[in-house]
Structure 1
Amino acid sequence: MVNLNPFTYFHLPADFLGSFLASQFTTLPYPDADFKGQTIIVTGANVGLGLEAARHFVRLGASKVILGCRNKEKGDGAKRVIEVTTGRMNVVEVWQVDLSSYESVRHFCDRASKLERLDAVVENAGIATPTYEEAEGMESTITVNVISTFLMALLLLPKLRSDALKYNITPRLTIVASDAHEQASFREQFAPVIFTALKSSKYQSDRYNVSKLLEILTVRELGPAMTSSGKPKVILNTLTPGFCRSELMRHAAFPLNLLGWIGKLLIGRSTEMGSRTLVAAACAGEDTHGSYMTDCKVKDPSKWVRSEKGKEAQKRTYKELLGVLEEIEPGVTKNI
Structure 2
Amino acid sequence: MGQYGHSNQPSHHITYMYDVAGQPWKTQEKVREVLSRLYTGSEIGQGYPGDEDNGEMSSWYLFSSLGFYPLQVGSPTYAIGSPLFTKATVKLAGGKKLVISAPQNSSKNIYVKSVRVNGKNWTSTSLPHDLIAGGGKIEFEMTDQPTKWGTGRNDAPPSITKPGEDPTTWRDSTSDTGAVIGAGGTDVSALIDNDAKTQVTLTGAQPTVTVALPQGRPVGMYTLTSGATGTAPSAWTLEGSNDGTTWSTVDRRTGESWAWTSYTRSFSVASPKAYTQYRLVFAPAADGVTLSEIELLGTLKGVEPGTHPSDRRVAETKPSPTPSQSIDRNWG
The TM-score normalised by the length of structure 1 is 0.24
Larger Cα Rg: Structure 1 or Structure 2?
2
Higher strand share: 2
The TM-score normalised by the length of structure 2 is 0.24
Higher helix share: 1
